[in-house]
Amino acid sequence: MQLAPFGSWKSPITADAIVADSIGLGSIVIDGADIYWLESRPQEAGRSVIVRRTSDGKNTDVTPPEYNVRNRVHEYGGAAYTVVDGCVYFSNISDNCLYVQDLRSEQPQQVRQLTHDKKKRYADLSVDTLRHRLICVQEEHDSADFEPLNTIVSIDIAKPDDIQVMAGGCDFYAAPRLSPDGSRLAWLSWNHPNLPWDGTNLQVANIVNGYLAAPSLIAGGANQAIFQPQWAGDDTLYFVSDRTGWGNLYCWQGSTVKPVHELEAEFGLPQWVFGMSTYALVGNRIVCTYTQRGVWHLALINTLSGHLTRLNVPYTDISNVRAAGNLVVCCAASATHANEIITIDLLTESREILQRSNRLKIDPRYFSIPESIEFPTTDGNTAFAFYYPPTNPDYQPLLGEKPPLLVKSHGGPTAATSNQLSLKTQYWTSRGFAVVDVNYGGSTGYGKAYQHRLDGKWGIVDVDDCTNAALYLVRQGLADANRLAISGGSAGGYTTLAALTFGDTFKAGASYYGVSDLASLAKDTHKFESRYLDRLVAPYPAQADLYQARSPLYFTDRLSCPIAFFQGLEDKVVPPNQAEMMVAVLKAKQIPVAYVTFPTEQHGFRQAENIKRALTGEFYFYAQIFGFELAEEIEPIQIDR
């Protein structure tokens, strides 16, 4: 082992290898004996491709090269395709239109366009085989002067100009689900100022002549969030509700709602995107995943007895759960396994990996194994995080040296981080950084009370928890108090900027498409999040003074540490002017600042070269600020001083 300062260790986990061998995985669909999923490929400019796994064990691309299977409903999209009897229906991001591709035909690569109006976007697709129609959520962008119009519509597959509105009048819709016999539809709706994790309505209605008759409210309300309604073969409707303070499974059988199994755990997720799935029905059992204290478990629930049996699988982050017969398909990851699409046979408990998100072969000795920590924070509360120690079998630090610490603040903020293997995190730890990934107050997975800890206190609770995580590790002798950095994207970028502006614990930071002016966010952002800050901060503009008091942009006189900004210029969620206003002030103060832009990126980076540039750029920035030597050549980013 070589003696070398923290931060200057050479690692086989390179940015080139990460982007060259990494893909995103999700959106699983089962159609007969075939399994489908989406792959997001940075090497193809972030294109999303439908992949088909046939019964002979072969993976084949379905989507022709000129198509990109995504949508921008609610801007974040999701559930951009479905498959029924070998026919693939999908949304193409470049024109927002729907297409169909019949894999049973003599020309399976031939694609037929269904819709033509580029101002209309579609998500949450399902097929009404009885009526030969598509049912989906439609978002219509007719005028820049008005909010987009959201509805549930049905589209005649043979005559796609025939579009019928089935449900309208609410601000938002999601999860239109047909009953097994096609006679009824269940769906979710909600209105401003709520987001779907605040409160939603679950309704059911009969379908009469293609329209919905006499809708009934089954569950939900302004303060009860419903997640993933799903019909069973006997017309029982299952769903997740947080009515008790925990997101548990319930069922409705035409008259009453009953709990399936009550547990202080979360069986649901915040619905940032369409089509999320944490459970599937297998006869009289439910295969489900749930989280407790940031760790996900896979289990079976007997719907007759309510008994829960945990399955013994080596995964701690499980999502996209689907099932057909006794075969379960899901996305799964752990501290030593990057995200994979796997199958589990419930009869034999055998598992098969269908696809890996990364094929990079690395000696696991280079992996830092996260430790789940609880630490004291403001007002006598406890917060949670995953701590990753610096790990590299080729190096040991200088005697008495403490490592630099990178505090990660997740986006959302209504979301959570997990302990699944992230090569981006390992990029830091294998070079001699400690990392702590914080599930600050407001994060999901710890119950509704913990999630509501951020209500009215965004920019306070999250900042305090990230700061206290760093100070806790300093007290434990696990981090250098003079080399503490904080980094985050989107909402995590706001937490980063607020921590750097309103406190002096951190000595540097990096903001990825982060918010610097809350009022600008409230005025400029898209419909889905346009009232998000009513709960997190206060109603705007009635309490505009509070927005200014929480905005880093107006208190840059307090800044005295360097910041790097990474921004997509096509970002509609957090527009570039949020970063540019902050950069201009820092330049005027002659505080070291870097501003790295990506002209073709939106909210979040999808293209391989840009992902690499941001990761290495942030590392280069800290090397210059903290003064350690680089063990490898990195393309510099411009730092204005």
Q: β-pairing, 98-102 with 87-91?
A: antiparallel
Phi, psi of 185 (to 5 degrees): -125, 135
**In the predicted structure, residue 428 carries a pLDDT above the cut 90:** yes
Asked if 325 and 32 touch (Cβ cutoff 8 Å), the reply is no
Q: What angle do CA 249, 251, 256 make, to 5 degrees?
A: 130
What average pLDDT does this structure show over 574-582? 87
Tell me the whole-structure pTM to 2 decimals.
0.94
Q: What is the pLDDT of residue 114?
A: 97
Distance CA 413, CA 503 (A): 20
Q: What is the pLDDT of residue 349?
A: 86
Q: What is the pLDDT of residue 28?
A: 98
Binned at pLDDT 50, 70 and 90, residue 20 comes out as: confident
**In the predicted structure, residue 405 carries a pLDDT above the cut 90:** yes
What average pLDDT does this structure show over 159-178? 96
From 217, 262, 221, select the one nearest 244 (Cα to Cα): 262
Q: What is the pLDDT of residue 85?
A: 96
Q: What is the pLDDT of residue 338?
A: 92
What average pLDDT does this structure show over 427-451? 98
Q: What is the pLDDT of residue 564?
A: 98
Q: Which residue has the higher pLDDT, 19 or 511?
A: 511
**In the predicted structure, residue 144 carries a pLDDT above the cut 80:** no
**In the predicted structure, residue 145 carries a pLDDT above the cut 80:** no
Q: What is the pLDDT of residue 613?
A: 96
Q: What average pLDDT does the chain have?
A: 95
| pLDDT, tens digit, 9 for 90 and up, residues 47-72 | 999 999 999 999 999 999 999 999 99
What average pLDDT does this structure show over 266-274? 97
Asked if 360 and 21 touch (Cβ cutoff 8 Å), the reply is yes
What tokens does 104 get?
């049973």
**In the predicted structure, residue 511 carries a pLDDT above the cut 80:** yes
Q: How many helices, marked H, and strands, marked E, lie in the chain?
A: 10, 38
Asked if 507 and 625 touch (Cβ cutoff 8 Å), the reply is yes
The total of other beta-carbon atoms located within 10 Å of residue 215's CB is 16
List b or e across 453-487, with b for residues whose CB sees 16 or more CB atoms inside 10 angstroms. Answer: bbeebbbbbbbbbbbbbbbbbbeeebbbeebbbbb
Asked if 631 and 620 touch (Cβ cutoff 8 Å), the reply is no
Q: What is the pLDDT of residue 371?
A: 96
Distance CA 252, CA 240 (A): 11
Q: What is the pLDDT of residue 573?
A: 77
Name which of 222-236, 472-486, 511-525 the model is least confident about. 511-525
Q: What is the pLDDT of residue 146?
A: 86
Query: Residue 281 forms beta bridges with which residues?
Result: 286
Distance CA 534, CA 540 (A): 7
What tokens does 399 get?
């005697």
Binned at pLDDT 50, 70 and 90, residue 581 comes out as: confident
**In the predicted structure, residue 143 carries a pLDDT above the cut 80:** no
| pLDDT, tens digit, 9 for 90 and up, residues 196-236 | 999 999 999 999 999 999 999 999 999 999 999 999 988 89
What tokens does 70 get?
């995504």
Instruction: Give the DSSP letter of residue 367.
Output: P
What average pLDDT does this structure show over 97-107? 95
Which residue do the tokens 């981080």 mark?
417
Q: What is the pLDDT of residue 521?
A: 87
Which residue do the tokens 């309103």 mark?
502
Q: What is the pLDDT of residue 234?
A: 83
Query: Residue 271 forms beta bridges with which residues?
Result: none
Q: What is the pLDDT of residue 508?
A: 98
**In the predicted structure, residue 578 carries a pLDDT above the cut 90:** no
What average pLDDT does this structure show over 481-499? 97
What tokens does 35 get?
């399994």
Distance CA 627, CA 624 (A): 5
**In the predicted structure, residue 81 carries a pLDDT above the cut 80:** yes
Distance CA 476, CA 357 (A): 35
Q: What is the pLDDT of residue 120?
A: 97
Asked if 108 and 115 touch (Cβ cutoff 8 Å), the reply is no
CA atoms within 13 A on the CB side of 587: 12
From 405, 410, 428, 421, select the one nearest 619 (Cα to Cα): 428
Q: Distances from the Cα of 42 to the Cαs of 17, 25, 50, 75, 611, in angstroms?
A: 12, 12, 15, 19, 8
Q: What is the pLDDT of residue 577?
A: 87
The total of other beta-carbon atoms located within 10 Å of residue 199's CB is 18
Q: What is the pLDDT of residue 75?
A: 92
| pLDDT, tens digit, 9 for 90 and up, residues 546-565 | 999 999 989 988 988 999 99
Asked if 136 and 176 touch (Cβ cutoff 8 Å), the reply is yes
Q: What angle do CA 160, 165, 167 make, to 5 degrees?
A: 145
**In the predicted structure, residue 254 carries a pLDDT above the cut 90:** no
Query: Residue 386 forms beta bridges with which residues?
Result: 372, 437
Asked if 201 and 217 touch (Cβ cutoff 8 Å), the reply is yes
Could you tell me what percent of the chain has a pLDDT over 90? Answer: 89
| pLDDT, tens digit, 9 for 90 and up, residues 320-354 | 999 999 999 999 999 999 999 999 999 998 999 99
Q: Is 33 exposed, middle or buried (CB count within 10 Å of its CB: 0-12, 13-18, 19+)? A: exposed
Name which of 277-291, 395-409, 480-494, 521-535 the model is least confident about. 521-535
| pLDDT, tens digit, 9 for 90 and up, residues 295-320 | 999 999 999 999 999 999 999 999 99
Q: Which helix (H) or strand (E) holds 464?
A: helix 461-475
